[in-house]
Amino acid sequence: MSKEKKDGNWFKRHKILTIIGVIIVIAIIASTAGGGKKNDNTTADSRKSSSGSSKSEATTAKLNEPARDGKFEFTVSAVKCGVASVSDSSGYLSKSAQGQYCELSVTVKNIGNEAQMFDGSNQYLFNSAGQKYNYDSTATIYANPSDSTFLNTINPGNTASGIVVFDVPQGQTPTAAELHDSAFSGGVKVSLQ
């Protein structure tokens, strides 16, 4: 076998092993970030089955009702829409909405055994047609006067409260929020009506 053929075969094997290694690393990261753990999507509402036994179901929570996803327990207290712009506490920095801002007031409690970071990019609003809206990072920072309320890690047993801001079209009314403890979790729905 010529040296060129040997080098070519070595390169192909090395490439395949590298791809397999990358896939394994991605799987490990996903499982340790919350994707591989049992997802606890529940609300405080415990339903009774037809046989009369009580069991917890993953249901849509309501305003002011705790709902769990993974390591976090979320309580949405209000949603306020029709906000044209949001300013920081100094009043010098502001951001205007493309449509209107909807401010979701939420309390997040870490119910797990390890610290976990709440990330606004994992939270969503939905309208009655099922359209999904992402949060506005700059507006969220401005709406929370205490430095980056949600970008700090929440330790077990601790709670953080603040506002997550979404830019939705004028005339739209969000009907539900979907809240996640991480990008890999299943999330929990909260009715906003």
DSSP string, 91-126: SS-EEEEEEEEEEEEEEEEE-SSS-EE--GGG-EEE
Tens place of pLDDT for every residue, the chain, 193 residues?
555 555 555 555 656 666 666 566 565 555 445 444 444 555 544 433 333 433 334 468 999 999 999 999 999 999 999 999 999 888 889 999 999 999 999 999 999 999 999 999 999 999 999 999 999 999 998 998 775 566 778 999 999 999 999 999 999 999 999 999 999 999 999 999 8
- Other CB atoms within a 10 A radius of the CB of residue 115 amount to 13
Of 182, 64, 174, 186, the closest CA to residue 125 belongs to: 174
In the block, residue with structure tokens 């991605």: 26
CA angle 186, 191, 193 (to 5 degrees): 165
pTM attached to this predicted model: 0.70
Neighbours of 76 (CB within 10 A): 23
Which residue reads 């829409």 in tokens? 81
Of 164, 117, 163, the closest CA to residue 136 belongs to: 164
Torsion of CA 129, 166, 158, 181, to 10 degrees: 50
- What CATH topology corresponds to 42-191? Immunoglobulin-like (2.60.40)
Q: What are the structural domain ranges in the chain?
A: 1-36, 42-191
The per-residue pLDDT for 11 is 52
Q: What is the pLDDT of residue 50?
A: 37
